[in-house]
Structure 1
């Protein structure tokens, strides 16, 4: 692959999810000749099934900086619906309560608009929440949600308007020379979600990324959707947020590796039943099911994503543990800059692993680091 000025570079991006679409947009805006490939349509995969919860409440400085940058981009686009993000633990959950006690001060030291909130104050602000057994709670004021499919498709449209080429319904292949479907490129970005590991393995560039199932539940219409915050119950390991007059509930993680070409896309019966219990716990009343589904997330050995150059001219963006959408505007911008010769994100450097590591999948929504 020959180094060129970025205005002359020929770049392929494989994967029409939000990270791939954002990277394509950022490259196109810089005058790069870039083509975005997707096996289906834009936002067909994880990006279209994601919760769209966005916040900056991270104790780690790198994660917090990226989240702040992403939130700013969502606001600039006009895509973010402001909504506070509350997370809490319930009585008897000492482990998560201790984690909150450690993490919230670290967030505050970074200047994040985060604070503890007493259960009584939580109930006063949102009387619909059940707080009688809440042990500890915190609130991130700089938060909101985004409609994920719309945002991802809009990003791809902006990329095309900026000069990018879009090839949907094209199952791209990558070889060891960096050719995509036999065509030479100066750089290739693989941001194909659960299919990323297989694509890179076939080209001889293995990465330790495993796909795992997560599940989501959308309730019937309810007035409660207008009067509750975004919520993460660390004790129950579920989250909820308002969505078009309904309540979107997750997580339903199945911590087992799944074949990204052969997996169950409908929600499990146990998860649907659990969601009714989750809503009973959170709100003191159940809300019926409108529909439910499953999606695939990707995990890495240390819980941090792989973002950057895997081999000369071959870049990767994967392993976001369910936090990919909320960080996508910043990740895509930084990855595009690296492709064009800028610095990468050291903590996310994919070469920190050999690619053949064995590891257990750990739930992405967790107070543990």
Structure 2
């Protein structure tokens, strides 16, 4: 069997590695450098704290594989609320997650503050912790998955823009090659790639921003603040802080973070902790979204498969989704069960839906 994978991010590399490990002849095409899109700019937070059974199963499998590959650094994932409505949501989420068998729990603000003294807890109304969570270094993930794919026999072609001249035919500037199957995992470029075959995807793009501070010398968890709508994780001795998401034309995405985002993110970090760090660096990157916030994973034509629409969770899900897609392409029963096939099925949409990628109809779009 000969398979092409278009897209050299974490998902594409995971698919290629799993296929090649199963004896499939694989060629991966990446128009730039491996991990040059969303994967290389990801926050690298990984957790299983999902109330939806399918999302939880995908996340759990991804965490297991990251551990097997020695890429996951254990670190609790905390989410907190300040408003009463947000607090109710946190408690309901924990109950649903525990019903799925996940190692999550609510903790008092006082207990959270005792464990992490630099976190300001005075105005918190609810706190929850996912104990099986961790963090990964995006560049290490990309390098490891690329080496795994190459070692298994995959051909990895970087600096090679690819197009589809047929559902299973890949064209480049130098050649045109027919495959038994093609997997399109090219992030925002997936939609125009499939448009060449008159296949429309319900996919929109938005821009997300992060910064990393100078070293802070403090012990911190990964944390999402549901009321102030931002997150952080320790990174390189400092703190990576993320938010600043907004809709954008994917052809005109500034890779530099906005000064207003940097200022507001620092203000929120200072208000939520005792820290007052300087910024070491910041950046922006593109993410993909779907109308229901679930990804598009599955077959869209004979021999043509798609994996995109991650809503910022592509790196976190890559090991599990890569395994799932590789198994489906090979025609073997996937480890992850049937609900995923239906829930993530690309054909659940017509493909011409108009929606705001951040789910806010009042926002500028």
**Shorter-normalised TM-score: what interval?**
over 0.9
Tell me the residue number matched to 1:51: 43
**Structural RMSD (CA):** 1.3
CA contact (8 A) 2:167 2:182 kept: no
- Provide the rounded CA distance (Å) in 2 between the counterparts of 1:258 and 1:150: 29
Tell me the residue number matched to 2:183: 189
Of 133, 142, 146, which residue of structure 2 is paired with 1:143? 133
The farther-off stretch of 174-183 and 126-135 is 174-183
With the length of structure 2 as denominator, give the TM-score of the two structures: 0.93
Matched, 1:244 2:236: yes
- Provide the rounded CA distance (Å) in 1 between the counterparts of 2:79 and 2:160: 41
- Provide the rounded CA distance (Å) in 1 between the counterparts of 2:24 and 2:252: 35
Tell me the residue number matched to 1:354: 350
CA contact (8 A) 1:69 1:330 kept: yes
Matched, 1:25 2:30: no
- Secondary structure of 2:165's counterpart equals coil
Of 316, 320, 336, which residue of structure 1 is paired with 2:306? 316
CA contact (8 A) 1:86 1:229 kept: yes
Of 24, 29, 33, which residue of structure 2 is paired with 1:41? 33
Distance 1:147 1:363, change over 3 A: farther
Matched, 1:299 2:289: yes
- Secondary structure of 1:345's counterpart equals helix
Stretches of structure 2 that go unaligned for 5 or more consecutive residues are 334-339, 361-365
- Provide the rounded CA distance (Å) in 2 between the counterparts of 1:285 and 1:33: 51
- Secondary structure of 1:66's counterpart equals helix
Stretches of structure 1 that go unaligned for 5 or more consecutive residues are 1-8, 365-369
Tell me the residue number matched to 2:259: 269
Deviations 1:179-200 (A, max 9, x none): 1003111100000011111111
- Provide the rounded CA distance (Å) in 1 between the counterparts of 2:180 and 2:236: 43
CA contact (8 A) 2:206 2:358 kept: no
Using the TM superposition, give the Cα deviation of residue 286 of structure 1 relative to its aligned residue in structure 2, in angstroms: 2.1
- Provide the rounded CA distance (Å) in 1 between the counterparts of 2:317 and 2:167: 30
Of 66, 91, 96, which residue of structure 2 is paired with 1:74? 66
Using the TM superposition, give the Cα deviation of residue 150 of structure 1 relative to its aligned residue in structure 2, in angstroms: 1.3
With the length of structure 1 as denominator, give the TM-score of the two structures: 0.92
Using the TM superposition, give the Cα deviation of residue 69 of structure 1 relative to its aligned residue in structure 2, in angstroms: 0.5
- Provide the rounded CA distance (Å) in 1 between the counterparts of 2:248 and 2:261: 18
Using the TM superposition, give the Cα deviation of residue 11 of structure 1 relative to its aligned residue in structure 2, in angstroms: 0.5
Using the TM superposition, give the Cα deviation of residue 329 of structure 1 relative to its aligned residue in structure 2, in angstroms: 0.3
Deviations 1:175-222 (A, max 9, x none): 244310031111000000111111111221111111110001000121
Tell me the residue number matched to 2:152: 162
1:216-295 matches, cutoff 5 A: 216-224=210-218, 227-254=219-246, 256-259=247-250, 261-295=251-285
Matched, 1:340 2:340: no
Tell me the residue number matched to 2:336: none
- Secondary structure of 1:67's counterpart equals helix
- Provide the rounded CA distance (Å) in 2 between the counterparts of 1:24 and 1:278: 40
1:77-156 matches, cutoff 5 A: 77-90=69-82, 93-156=83-146
Q: Which runs of at least 4 in structure 1 moved beyond 6 Å after TM superposition?
A: none
- Provide the rounded CA distance (Å) in 1 between the counterparts of 2:62 and 2:343: 18
Of 55, 70, 73, which residue of structure 2 is paired with 1:63? 55
Tell me the residue number matched to 1:5: none
Distance 1:166 1:350, change over 3 A: same
Using the TM superposition, give the Cα deviation of residue 162 of structure 1 relative to its aligned residue in structure 2, in angstroms: 0.5
- Provide the rounded CA distance (Å) in 2 between the counterparts of 1:146 and 1:267: 22
CA contact (8 A) 1:279 1:287 kept: no
Matched, 1:15 2:7: yes
CA contact (8 A) 1:257 1:361 kept: no
Distance 1:122 1:363, change over 3 A: farther
- Secondary structure of 1:362's counterpart equals coil
Deviations 1:7-40 (A, max 9, x none): xx11100000000000000000010011000001
- Provide the rounded CA distance (Å) in 1 between the counterparts of 2:180 and 2:85: 49
- Provide the rounded CA distance (Å) in 2 between the counterparts of 1:363 and 1:221: 35
